[in-house]
Structure 1
Amino acid sequence: MSQALPGAPLPRPTPLQRWLVLLFVSLAMFGNYYVYDALGPVVDLMREQLGFSYRQIGLLSSAYNWAALLVLLAGGVIIDRFGTKKAITVFAVICLIGAALTALTPHFEVILAGRFVLGLGAEPLIVAATTVLAKWFKGKELSFAFGINLSISRLGSASADWSTGFASPLYANWQDPLWLATAVAGISVAAAMLYWMLERRAEGRIDLGPGGEAERLDFKRLFAFGKSFWFIVALCVVFYSTVFPFRTFAIDYFQQAHGLQREAAGLLSSLLPMAAIVATPLFGLWVDRVGRRSVFMLVGALVMLPLFLAVTYLPPGPAVGIAIPYIGAGEVPLTLLVVMLLLGGVFSLIPAVMWPSVAYIVDQRRLGSAYAMMTFCQQLGWAAVPPIVGLLNDLGGAGPENPAGYAGGMWFYSALCGLGLLFAFLLWRHEGGTRGHGLDTITIRHPAAG
């Protein structure tokens, strides 16, 4: 790859360069997601072997979010100011340190500190990865690239669930599965370093969009985005505040409330990221061609609304067998299977549309700050929900002798889904007006002006 002549326009990235970037960034995200979701399969072991309450488990989940809140706004400006290649590598190393701390000792305070350190690195890492894809793929296969990236990320989540099968000997105690997660975190660091080398080689040789001086850390400007952006942010908050806390408790919930064995519960929980692995790129590819982004988000929010009450009140139905080659097999109630597949579809659709939509309504020089603000707000909601659900479970006396005790948490999830439907509707109405940004009209064949 030769240096461009002075004054000559730089070429855009080649397909090979774009897909290599996607591969490295997605591998970094794979390790990141695995480490986060490694907590779910050991919830019951922590309760049995360490004596932790549901409230303490909720705090372990929220420590991640509170840490993310401390760094996200500054992290976005750091990404814009110092560049994605440095940011993505530093944040991946912090994730590795957090994973090791979580597995290190049985003391609650140390495990809490490990989850806190993980939050300091993981969410800014996601912002950096999102910003990378936005600048390398904008005007090309942006939604499809986001979809592939989310699929590989979700494969990390699914692999954490599958570890109850392929790494079942490790589940004699709570600690060994978390050491496995620490090893997987090394994948993030290696992939981030490979991206660093690729971007460094590309500097001055290819066009990665408008440059200019990165903005200073100005908190007033951090909030200076339009209505469509804030409607997307609000949908993002309630969506992730519902799905990710549910996943934290899901395997334990399936075991305690529905009597599933650990391996079957892990397989059932993994259907959510598995569906996303397959469907997210397809939805992204579809959206790149037809637009209608606000409509897709509205449909996804509508489908999600009844699902948590369905698992609570509908008859379980007959037991059906599910199996994943080389991973495991088990029997699960039909109702739970259908609900998890539908939730997996929503988990594919909304993120595939929501995250790339921001690149069409925010100046590229502020993308790092925009994604950081979006993720910051997401973390506010996400941090609050697990302790609330844990408290509702404890107050309801939830457990295998009292499955009805889980109903309070399910009603709470459903209320969040109702808010998501409201924000999706407001976005759809605003984008259909004169102040819309073309989220429903911009396609590969009809790109945005300018």
Structure 2
Amino acid sequence: MLVRNKVLLSMFALMVITYLDRVCIAATASAMSNELNLSLSEMGYVLSAFVLGYVLFEVPGGYLADRFGARTLLTRIVIWWSIFTALTGVAWNYTSLLLIRFLFGCGEAGAFPGTTSALSRWFPRSERGRAQAVIMIGSRLGGALAPGLVIYLMHQIGWRSVYWVFALLGIIWAIFWMRWYRNTAEEHPSIEKSELAKIQAERTPTNRAATIPWVRLLTSRNIWALCVMYSGYTFGVYFYMTWLPTYLQQGRGISQSDLGFYAALPWVAALLGNLLGGVWTDAISRRMRLRWARRIPAITGLCVSASLLVAAALLESPIMGIAALALSFGASDLILSVCWATCVDIGGQHAGTISGMMNSLGQIGGVAAPMVFGNLVESYGSWELPLIIAAGYYLVSAGMWILIDPEETVV
């Protein structure tokens, strides 16, 4: 196996662990709320606390990945968030849980910028869409595995111990990554000359001493459009990350015994959509200009997703509603690898910083979604309104792609 594919496999494993840790709380929410006496709105604030920490540390994480490389950065942040994953299992009240999840989010913030920075150094341009799709598929696989695995472990060892098991996985990965990974292909002892030549021929030159062009970044219409677009995507996706099991039980009448299966379906659809999006954008890029290779899958996915989400909200049949919900997530995830590949297109050697900006400012939707869903459902007793709001936000995101030009770089 090529060394760069081993790097990709390692980052795939990291994304599985990342989403096991992240989605775990959605499956434990009911048990946690009952034991800690939390209302729907309070749980919404707890879920949003993670995203707030995530937002605040995304850009610093991306900058540090570009400046010092992903080897040290990812090792340290995975250990950090694994500690707070474990501490989630000892939360004793609303305030302690709020603080722990905020600090957990601070740690996870560097994961995607770190992997994007590593990808920009290890992968030729012609392979980035596929490679980004593989990384994101890992996140969707983690999301698909989490509900069933968490519910099984809860029955065996209780909800608190689940967090300790998942924390251990992160520590093991961090030790492996620090020992094996190198920041550039040139530094890795196992690289063959032919593979190194392939990487060097199509790679953006890296200069760790390069100054980040902050003024240009902060005044770029391209980057602001990218961030606004991503905020609509995150508003929708955080419903699946935070409220999906609760929605399936309260809104669709799914029993605890069937919950793992039905909660996994949207994540499986997202996994397939992610793979299709990465393959599709790379295929189009070989025949058309890069801007259309990124826009076509993204606009298509968001528009189809919005339509299916409205259907999911309005269909009376639980099975048909859940099917529409799953397909909506799959369609929306056509854009995920496209978004992150676009960060590499625009950013070059500053790919980590650009991806950090997109995944920070773009997480405004993610911060809002758990609170909006929790408060609206508590106030009106219905899930339809927040789902339709999410569909409208998807359409706004689709429109923003007309303003995003992956051919307009910051360097």
CA distance in 2, matches of 1:411, 1:374: 24
1:211 aligned residue: 206
CA distance in 2, matches of 1:190, 1:239: 33
Whether contact under 8 Å (2:53, 2:106) holds in the other structure is yes
Whether contact under 8 Å (2:54, 2:105) holds in the other structure is yes
CA distance in 1, matches of 2:138, 2:73: 20
Specify whether residues 106 and 201 from structure 1 end up closer, same or farther in structure 2 by C-alpha distance, changes over 3 A only. Answer: farther
Whether contact under 8 Å (1:81, 1:214) holds in the other structure is yes
1:389 aligned residue: 373
1:296 aligned residue: 297
Q: Deviations over 1:280-319 (max 9, x none)?
A: 2343123212233201111111111133332232220xxx
Specify whether residues 66 and 149 from structure 1 end up closer, same or farther in structure 2 by C-alpha distance, changes over 3 A only. Answer: same
1:367 aligned residue: 351
Cα distance, 1:373 vs structure 2 = 0.6
Alignment of 1:342-357 (within 5 A): 342-357=327-342
CA distance in 2, matches of 1:342, 1:278: 10
Amino acid of the structure 2 residue aligned with 1:248: T
2:274 to 266, 275, 280: 280
2:7 aligned residue: 21
Across the two proteins, how many residue pairs are aligned to each other?
393
Larger mean CA deviation between 193-202 and 108-117 belongs to 193-202
Whether contact under 8 Å (1:27, 1:191) holds in the other structure is no
Whether contact under 8 Å (2:207, 2:349) holds in the other structure is yes
1:120 aligned residue: 106
Cα distance, 1:259 vs structure 2 = 1.0
Q: 1 or 2, which has the higher helix percentage?
A: 2
- 1:45 equivalenced with 2:31 (yes/no): yes
CA distance in 1, matches of 2:276, 2:398: 23
- 1:419 equivalenced with 2:403 (yes/no): no
Specify whether residues 261 and 120 from structure 1 end up closer, same or farther in structure 2 by C-alpha distance, changes over 3 A only. Answer: same
CA distance in 2, matches of 1:177, 1:344: 26
1:336 to 295, 298, 321: 321
Whether contact under 8 Å (2:294, 2:342) holds in the other structure is yes
CA distance in 1, matches of 2:128, 2:147: 29
Cα distance, 1:393 vs structure 2 = 1.4
2:174 to 185, 189, 194: 189
CA distance in 1, matches of 2:333, 2:94: 34
1:306 alignment partner, SS class: helix
CA distance in 2, matches of 1:57, 1:183: 25
Cα distance, 1:167 vs structure 2 = 2.9
Whether contact under 8 Å (2:301, 2:333) holds in the other structure is no
Amino acid of the structure 1 residue aligned with 2:392: A
The root-mean-square deviation of aligned C-alpha atoms, in Å, is: 2.7
Amino acid of the structure 2 residue aligned with 1:184: L
1:11 aligned residue: none
1:169 to 155, 167, 172: 155
Q: Deviations over 1:51-93 (max 9, x none)?
A: 1111111111111121122222222221121122111111111
Larger radius of gyration: 1
Specify whether residues 170 and 347 from structure 1 end up closer, same or farther in structure 2 by C-alpha distance, changes over 3 A only. Answer: farther
1:259 alignment partner, SS class: coil
Give 5+ residue unaligned stretches, structure 2.
286-292
Whether contact under 8 Å (2:58, 2:360) holds in the other structure is yes
Cα distance, 1:192 vs structure 2 = 2.9
Cα distance, 1:115 vs structure 2 = 1.1
Give the fraction of aligned pairs with identical amino acids, expressed as a percent: 23
Cα distance, 1:273 vs structure 2 = 1.8
Amino acid of the structure 1 residue aligned with 2:206: G
Specify whether residues 162 and 16 from structure 1 end up closer, same or farther in structure 2 by C-alpha distance, changes over 3 A only. Answer: same
Whether contact under 8 Å (1:76, 1:372) holds in the other structure is yes
1:153 aligned residue: 139
Normalised by the length of structure 2, the TM-score is: 0.87
Cα distance, 1:422 vs structure 2 = 2.3
2:310 aligned residue: 309
Amino acid of the structure 1 residue aligned with 2:387: M
Whether contact under 8 Å (1:92, 1:189) holds in the other structure is yes
1:260 alignment partner, SS class: coil
Whether contact under 8 Å (2:84, 2:100) holds in the other structure is yes
Whether contact under 8 Å (2:276, 2:334) holds in the other structure is no
- 1:261 equivalenced with 2:252 (yes/no): no
Specify whether residues 381 and 215 from structure 1 end up closer, same or farther in structure 2 by C-alpha distance, changes over 3 A only. Answer: farther
CA distance in 1, matches of 2:99, 2:33: 18
Q: Deviations over 1:356-406 (max 9, x none)?
A: 1222223x221111111111112222112211221111111x3xxxxxx22
1:82 aligned residue: 68
Normalised by the length of structure 1, the TM-score is: 0.80
CA distance in 1, matches of 2:156, 2:96: 21
CA distance in 1, matches of 2:6, 2:247: 39
Specify whether residues 256 and 76 from structure 1 end up closer, same or farther in structure 2 by C-alpha distance, changes over 3 A only. Answer: same
